[in-house]
Amino acid sequence: MGVGWRCSSRGTTCVRARRSTPFRSPSCWPQRSDPPVSGGRFALLVVPWLVVAQPVWCVHADPPAPAPGPIVRPLAPGEVLRLGPTAGTGTPTKDYGIGATDLCEFLEFPTELLQVCGDSFAGQGVGFGGWYSPIALHVDTASINDPGGVRYTGVTGIGKPLLADPTPAGDSQLPAGVVQINRRNYLMVTTTKDLKPQSSRLVAAEPAHPGWQTVAGSTRDGSYQGGSQTQISGYYDPIPTDESPTGWVYIVANSFTRSQPVVLYRVAPQHFTDRSRWQGWAAGPGGGWNKPPTPLWPDMVGEMCVRQIDGKAVLSYFNASTGNMEVRVANDPTSLGEAPVTTVVQHDEWPEPAESLPPPEDNRLAQPYGGYISPGSTLDEIRIFVSQWDTRARVAAPYRVIQFAVNPFKPD
């Protein structure tokens, strides 16, 4: 589910966090694990295992597309506005055979815009109908700046699997972060078994066809770097430095299990796929680059998305220590730990019926996670895609993605 099957690997009901008591543990929030063995029909599609060698390209920065611009009324600092559900339960993605899905992280290509999703189902909830993971939704680029939300033109990953590597028996392959370098998109895929990451690897995303191939030499055991590289996000800043005339790719990383804080790496763009060359950042005396990385701040963090917007480092993430969706804006990625925090979504109890939503200005939501930044965002209007999954029942809905807009607090 990109975030998985919570509380136990077989769908045990979660205890809801109550607003009247402090949030103490992420144990009742959706987590990644293996798919259920009953409650719906699931298809496992297998193709021959393939790898692709690291490509060679000229290092340059492409302009963002679509062009950034506001799509809602001006928001006050810290203000949040919900735009509405875009994918999954109760949305038009059912027209493309995807009635329930989550995550929806963007991959930008010169002529295509995709959103990669986790475990997805033909029916309107988890376990209903055919099961596919991961998939890629094709976004109508003209809709990215539409106040009514994004629209889709198709899906990849149903008829043929999105990934070239077959899923090992009893395991799940789930998306775990995107890094774009010159419109070349790399997807981290983490293979899990019983909630635990078994391995992670980089996959070269392709807009025109399925069968995305593993980048040769990029696979690491789940315990690599203490498990703190089983989920990532990153961006390329082409500004040259003395150490790298081609600039740097900045990478935030943590554990797929939501059990670790965020750490920071950098690497020259031409060496990104060689994970042994990622340079960690350590704070404090004796710190700096090319050190064993230290946490940017203490909280445990789940899904995350870091992008550069108007020269600032912007990090959106699920805070597993608080249960909230948050965003930070910093002058540079090494300052994210000290950056002001804006709550995008406040975790809440489930309403009745579960699919109902409060007024658009009310940012409360039950069991949020994900938090992926949309192209076209500006510093005064960051658009974020938040997932929601009702895990209280064996086969549950809603299981969907909802778009929000926020004007985050900025550093001085």
Q: What tens digit of pLDDT does each residue of 131-176 get?
A: 999 999 999 999 999 999 999 999 999 999 999 999 999 999 999 9
Is there a domain that residue 411 lies in? no
For 298-315, what is the mean pLDDT? Answer: 99
Is there a domain that residue 50 lies in? no
Is there a domain that residue 144 lies in? yes
| pLDDT confidence tier of residue 297, bands split at 50, 70 and 90 | very high
Is there a domain that residue 99 lies in? yes
Is there a domain that residue 216 lies in? yes
Which two tokens mark 241?
Answer: 């430095």
Is there a domain that residue 11 lies in? no
CATH number of 154's domain = 2.115.10
pLDDT at 34 > cutoff 90 = no
Is there a domain that residue 49 lies in? no
Is there a domain that residue 308 lies in? yes
* SS3 of residue 410 by DSSP: coil
Res 53: pLDDT: 45
One-letter amino acid at 399 equals: Y
Write down the pTM of the prediction: 0.86
DSSP assignment, residue 321? Answer: T
Rounded alpha-carbon distances, angstroms, from residue 146 to 141, 166, 383, 388: 10, 37, 11, 22
Res 122: pLDDT: 98
For the chain, how many structural domains are there in total? 1
pLDDT at 391 > cutoff 70 = yes
Whole domain around residue 111: which residue ranges? 26-43+61-68+75-406
| pLDDT confidence tier of residue 194, bands split at 50, 70 and 90 | confident
Rounded alpha-carbon distances, angstroms, from residue 104 to 34, 81, 284, 304, 387: 19, 19, 36, 12, 8
| Most distant pair of Cα atoms in the chain: their distance | 58
Q: What is the spatial distance between Cα 256 and Cα 265, in angstroms, rounded to a whole number?
A: 17
pLDDT at 14 > cutoff 70 = no
